[in-house]
Structure 1
Amino acid sequence: MTDLNNPPVVSRRDWLTAIDALRVREKAHTREGDAIAAARRRLPMTEVDPSAPLVSGEGRVPLIDVFAGRAQLFVSYHMWHDGHSAADQCEGCTFFTGQVRELSYLHQRDVTFAVFCQGPYEESERYRRFMGWDLPWYSVPAESHERLLADRHFGMKACYLREGDRVFETYWTTGRGVEPMAPSYGILDMTVRGRQETWEDSPAGWPQPFETLGQQFRKDGRPTAQWARITAGHDDDLHGEEPGTGTGASGCCCS
């Protein structure tokens, strides 16, 4: 093997020795993650208006109803570009939202998952259906923005606790803090090439074709995940017009 872009080849014994050395660091990283999660569980919380209205397929509903009778709620705040084509919707939010599929394990632990979209319900719901996402989906009307976001922005994730008829926010994060929603990243981090993004510390000559202003989630002018839906014949028209190819919005807050 002569490709300079590959790791050196060693005996299996030497390979296992190198992995064992790295495993010590991996275990320390896992234990630190456990400690951070323990500290997160001990954070104080702040009260949120339980009547803040949202829009669903059944019309307007208050925040407290989104819990669906459970004690906890995890919300993914999905960015939206009003009036734009499906191809021009937020590539970062599409990347993260699309990887949340099986909700039964959350429900088993008394947690409801929901998407709160910045866009109007009818338009954004058509996007949800085009993407094939089977997730509780709500639109956040303007009157609820400040009540829920409190000077933050869509793209964030937030956790809530319900006690009777009161609702409390217990945690929120954004940026790279939302990466637990994306198992693709965890898988890529275990491969020799990694995420292939320009910020990564990789050996010289490693392929890093992906910029990190949204380009890492796009392919040929639309969010990468949309291509499988287009190939399968699903309609991406959000506005009752002919589907467009879009030009690719950049600078998504999720990236």
Structure 2
Amino acid sequence: MTAHLTGTREDWLKARLDLLAAEKALTRQSDAVAQRRQALPWVKVDKDYRFVTEAGEAKLVDLFAGRSQLLVYHFMFGPDFSVGCPSCSLIADGFNGIHVHLANHDVTLTAVSLASLDKLFAFKRRMGWTFPWASSATSDFNFDFSASFTEEQERKGVVDYNFRREPQVDWSSNGVVAGLALQSGTTPGDYMRERPGMSAFIREGGAIYHTYSSYARGMDAIWNMYPWLDRAPKGRNEPNGPWWRLRDDYEAPTAMAQSCCA
């Protein structure tokens, strides 16, 4: 017998209609926030950022690939990582299809990381991804857009992430961080010197402008699994924190089924 509230179909429909009103209000609020997001002032990008791509050295303008809008996912993959962050990898698993659609709507979606291009492309091949991915190892791009931090910044307590100053933390004692770092093949300290985020840019009148950035929980909307989990009976169901792994690190479905039914 379930401990959850139960009722008749009529009870469910009445509660569902009440919830629908709240969902519609949330949708309208989301639309209003999107308009405010697009109304933010643009900041001209004057620095000559350089990247390494599959096609060779590139400037920021080259990442647009001829389009007027650029969306950058700041993928946590530092120079000392063996593989990409499992959380960023889960997000990137949703890029393969949508980057093609975006490209046909005047928007280029690319990932950018601080690791070398060799590491990025080895991991990209492993995961079967097709979206563009650039290394920012030759410029300050990651640091300027709050996606990477130095040991000196940590030591001085001047890490500004998600638009606020972070308190100094000993990440080695954080079990969640230690677990994610282990999956990435690095130490907790090195892991937390990289952070997830996204930034938007536009080309207009021969100039490039930074229009938007988002970090931390501001990234929930692009976690492709969360809209589904938020509609599942148990919701996100994460009492012990991150449960996910790299996609090819899970047990094979047949093995899981056998173990469940044994």
Structure 2 equivalent of residue 55 of structure 1: 52
Runs of at least 4 residues off by over 4 Å: 150-153
Shift of 1:197: 1.6
1:144 and 2:143 equivalent? Answer: no
Aligned length: 206
State how far apart, in whole Å, the 2-side matches of 1:176 and 1:158 are.
14
2:34 equivalent among 17, 28, 37: 37
Shift of 1:138: 0.4
Question: Which structure exhibits the higher relative contact order, with contacts defined as CA atoms closer than 8 Å and separated by 6 or more residues?
Answer: 1
State how far apart, in whole Å, the 2-side matches of 1:154 and 1:115 are.
13
Structural mapping, 1:99-248, within 5 Å = 99-102=94-97, 103-145=99-141, 148-149=144-145, 154-198=195-239, 210-211=240-241, 215-218=242-245, 223=246, 225-227=247-249
Letter in 2 for 1:195: R
Q: State the secondary structure of the residue aligned to 1:217.
A: coil
Shift of 1:178: 1.3
State how far apart, in whole Å, the 2-side matches of 1:109 and 1:62 are.
22
Shift of 1:172: 0.3
State how far apart, in whole Å, the 2-side matches of 1:48 and 1:175 are.
23
Q: 1:52 to 1:85 in 2, by over 3 A?
A: closer
Q: State the secondary structure of the residue aligned to 1:143.
A: coil
> Comparing 38-47 with 162-171, which one deviates more in the overlay?
162-171
Query: When the two structures are superposed, what TM-score results if normalisation uses the length of structure 2?
Result: 0.72
1:97 equivalent among 70, 92, 101: 92
Q: Is the 8 A contact 2:111 2:133 kept in 1?
A: yes
Q: 1:141 to 1:49 in 2, by over 3 A?
A: farther
State how far apart, in whole Å, the 1-side matches of 2:200 and 2:233 are.
34
Write the deviation string for residues 144-176 of structure 1: whole angstroms up to 9, x where unpaired. Answer: 336742665641100000114311110000111
Structure 2 equivalent of residue 238 of structure 1: none
Unaligned stretches of 5+ residues in structure 1 = 199-209, 232-255
Q: Is the 8 A contact 1:73 1:159 kept in 2?
A: yes
Q: State the secondary structure of the residue aligned to 2:243.
A: helix
Shift of 1:109: 2.2
1:77 and 2:74 equivalent? Answer: yes
Write the deviation string for residues 75-104 of structure 1: whole angstroms up to 9, x where unpaired. Answer: 001111434433xx3121111111222223
Name the structure with the higher helix share.
Answer: 2
Unaligned stretches of 5+ residues in structure 2 = 147-159, 162-193, 253-262
Query: When the two structures are superposed, what TM-score results if normalisation uses the length of structure 1?
Result: 0.74
